[in-house]
Amino acid sequence: MRCCLFILFFIPAWVFSQKDTIQNIQEVRASDFARIPRKLNSSITQEDILETNPTDVGDIIRKISGANIKSYGGLGGLKTVSMRSLGASHTVLAMDGFSLPQLQTGQVNLGQMQVDNLLSVTAANDNSLNTALPVSMQVSGSSVLIRTFENTFLAAEDTLAIRANAKYGSFGRLDGYLAAKYQPGKLMVSLFAGSRQAQGRYPYSLKNGLQNLTGTRENNDYRDFNWGTVLAAKFNRSSVRIGYRQKEIKQGLPGAVIFYNQTQDERLTTDEKNAFMDYTIWGERFSLRMHASGLLHKLEYRDPDFLNGAGGINTVYNNRSANGGATARLFTEHFTFFGGIEQIAADLTVDDSLFAAPVRFHNYGLLGAIFWWKRIKIKGQLSSQYVSERNNNGENAPDQFRINPFLSIELGKYRKHLRHQIWYKNTFRMPSFNELYYNNVGNNALLPEDAHQVNYGISIVPVERKLDLHIRSNVFYNEVRNKIVAIPTQNLFVWSMQNIGTVRVYGFDAMVDAKWNITSYWKSVLTANYTYQRTLDYTDEDSPTYRNQVAYIPLHTANMDLAFYYKKTGLRVSNYFISERYTLNENVPQNKIDGFIITDVSIFHTFKIGEKHHLRAQGTVKNVFNNSYAYIRSFVMPGTNFLISMSYAFN
């Protein structure tokens, strides 16, 4: 069985397509070019999310080609993503059109994001997502757009929609989610709440040199509660949304197994409040979106066993940020002109008098145009970023200013559903507050990262009948100057930073999606993707790390999902492969960490009760072959575990 699944891993794939139900402003497009199916981006649909029964958003994004996940445990464990080896801070996440800034650490913890409310997750490296999105997302190295149930309008014929979900799984896992949307006419109101918890005590077996370490993961418990509401109205030519989300998390921080002791009891408490609003107007030739959001993010870190004069550590970090901006578009027969501005103001306060008190103002500007004519599309833009920073408790980091260009050319041929694309972009990202100011680690002289990216992609749909087949591939080259690499030391909260002068990334990815309608009752879906990333340190010819693979960047990653459906019943087998990596930039055997293949199996059935009621039952076994593996050395992941879910939908 294991051998068969490994072979299936490399078979080209079938997938369903899903119509995007989010409110979008339609662009005027010339010629038949727009009729060619767009498959240059990576999108995970709601069906994919439901069927794979992921633990969190990190488990979803790892299925996207070019994505590299760093994971430190099961439910609630820290998970971050870097796209095409650029680093997590080059990726901007947005939820329902609002960016999710995290200036303290520079990276959003995907392990703390629930999945029961998701409609889709879409990633792009080529600035091809909607130009009404915040400017910070359009000028980033890569972007991930998340759409949720509670923040989208219902179809015109519906007035009420309800979603409920309950899950029970290994290691004390218990989840619950409930949401309702009411839309009488032009007004929409939604309420939602969810919780997750797990005691997290899973057994492990990890090889350490010639030793086999076995035990049970301790201090790995997790509990969160989140809730929110959205009030929205949609008129003939405009819409407005006002929303609020709150999240409260309490968790333990297990250390590295190699240093593991049963008395470790570091704790982390997170309290996050997020308010947001936007107003959009559109016409046949013009659209304008104005948006604003505010975030209060509080972290409390406790380590009662830390050896110091105070008898432990109890530190509270308060990260506040306010975001406001506008984007506009003007449409003509062959052109779309677009532009926008955005400003983010953020600060960080710590109850430790020795810690810095930084304040940052980050200003964005963007101007661009898209030209459509017959089978050609050309997009160009110039963006500017100005960062002003002051430290109320120490030396300031220097101000920064950059102008970043982007140029893309696409050629399409409708009859063969063939699309070529070549693009270049330059991006820039500031170091986070922790990288600049963290005690004994931060360096306020740390240089920002500059990235140059070049990509050629081809997408083709050779068959679109009973067998629906989509093929996509990209060849890319990235050069990152002054790259900042973060490597954990004691636990998930304490890091060390290093600045690598120049990193070059040579890469290739390929994806094949297909759906085969075998009969009116039977169908099969197979999706597969593969990514090659050669990420080399070109800083110093005399260094022992010269032309070595950068730490924790795998050379090969791949995904393969195979599903069979009979009426309302389905079986899905998911495989994820990651090759060996190095824990440090010096590629010697003692720094090598083994690669792994993980297989998950899900079976599900949907019961239709009347016209509007749907009940779905699903069982999932994760890590079927009980492989012992780790994304990060000594942070061992769970073995075989199960997850049972029951969900209800009304609309």
- Beta-carbon count within 10 A of 45 CB: 19
- Residue 362 and residue 636: Cα distance in Å, rounded? 38
- Residue 532 and residue 343: Cα distance in Å, rounded? 36
Rounded to whole angstroms, what are the CA distances from 132 to 25, 154, 343, 345?
8, 20, 16, 21
Highest mean pLDDT among 264-268, 466-470, 553-557: 553-557
- Residue 364 and residue 383: Cα distance in Å, rounded? 7
Closest CA to 106 of 453, 327, 325, 348: 348
Reported confidence tier of residue 12, pLDDT bands at 50, 70, 90? very low
Q: What is the pLDDT of residue 29?
A: 42
* 183-230 residue pLDDT tens: 998 999 999 999 999 998 888 887 766 667 788 888 889 999 999 999
Q: Across residues 49-64, what is the average pLDDT?
A: 92
* 478-524 residue pLDDT tens: 999 987 765 555 555 555 666 678 999 999 999 999 999 999 999 99
Average pLDDT of the chain is 86
Tokens 């051998």 label which residue? 3
CATH topology of domain 2-650: Maltoporin; Chain A (2.40.170)
Spell out the alpha helix ranges (H) of 403-517.
433-437
What does the block give as tokens for 102?
């995290």
- Beta-carbon count within 10 A of 420 CB: 16
- Residue 524 and residue 48: Cα distance in Å, rounded? 14
Structure-derived torsion over alpha carbons of residues 608, 612, 615, 616, reported in degrees to the nearest 10: 80
Q: What is the DSSP letter of 25?
A: P
Instruction: Evaluate if pTM is beyond 0.95.
Output: no
Comparing 352 with 563, the larger pLDDT belongs to 563
Closest CA to 224 of 109, 300, 114, 94: 114
Q: Is the dihedral of CA 325, 42, 230, 192 positive or negative?
A: negative
- Residue 410 and residue 375: Cα distance in Å, rounded? 8
Closest CA to 389 of 325, 349, 345, 427: 345
Tokens 């792994």 label which residue? 596
Reported confidence tier of residue 170, pLDDT bands at 50, 70, 90? very high
Comparing 304 with 42, the larger pLDDT belongs to 304
Comparing 77 with 410, the larger pLDDT belongs to 410
Helix (H) and strand (E) counts for the chain? 5, 33
Mapping DSSP to helix (H, G, I), strand (E, B) and coil, where does residue 472 land?
A: strand
